[in-house]
Structure 1
């Protein structure tokens, strides 16, 4: 799987996932930092990327769309970059297992 981290989350999350052997980029790396949700959605869908986001607009868009990319919806409040990475470190295997089992939306709470 390939992961694209949305703008509300730090580029460090993409680097962390890459350190685990995942193919992961931040929207900044993809030239999508200023892109609207529709552009990021299309990029993910056309290129088979999983979107990692805090934006509930992606979850809503998926609920009303026939085709949609997989989404990891980060539902934790504001926290430090270190805390965010700790949460992903702790739950990463479970998140991946859910995606591999066919889930199209995985919530991180």
Structure 2
């Protein structure tokens, strides 16, 4: 599985993910650091990466566009460094491997992990 770290996350995540067997790149190494979230979303979908972010806008974009890919993992915490949240991310990647391959929005915080299969239905429509 290939993981794309958004600009708002430290490159310190890359060795943590690599040690757990995941290929990871930071957006700054593959794209324009000032790119829009839409550009990053499209790049990840085209190149079959899962986006890992601290930015809630990716979930909003997925809902607005009814996109089925890419999968997005959102981390919701004050401390977003690997020492604090690394074990939770690795556990989520292992638990939701199948869902991440087909399209899912995962939200991780200190107390729980939630997964929502894509596409995210609009209000008033059934999945």
Larger Rg: 2
Consecutive unaligned residues of structure 1, counting only runs of 5 or more, are none
**2:72 aligns to what?**
71
Work out whether residues 53 and 71 of structure 1, in 8 Å CA contact, stay in contact via their aligned partners in 2. Answer: yes
Q: Deviation at 1:63?
A: 1.1
The two structures have a TM-score, normalised by structure 1, of 0.83
**2:122 aligns to what?**
none
The count of aligned residue pairs is 106
Helix, strand or coil at the partner of 2:65: coil
Q: Deviation at 1:30?
A: 1.1
Query: CA RMSD of the aligned region, Å?
Result: 1.9
Specify which of 77, 86, 89 is matched with residue 88 of structure 1. Answer: 86
Distance 1:86 1:17, change over 3 A: same
Helix, strand or coil at the partner of 1:94: helix
Q: Deviation at 1:91?
A: 4.4
1:32 corresponds to 2:32: yes
Further displaced range: 92-101 or 20-29: 92-101
Distance 1:25 1:74 in 2: 17
Per-residue deviation, residues 11-69 of structure 1 (Å, max 9, x unmatched): 11122201222111111121332211111011101111000011111001111223231
Distance 1:23 1:90 in 2: 17
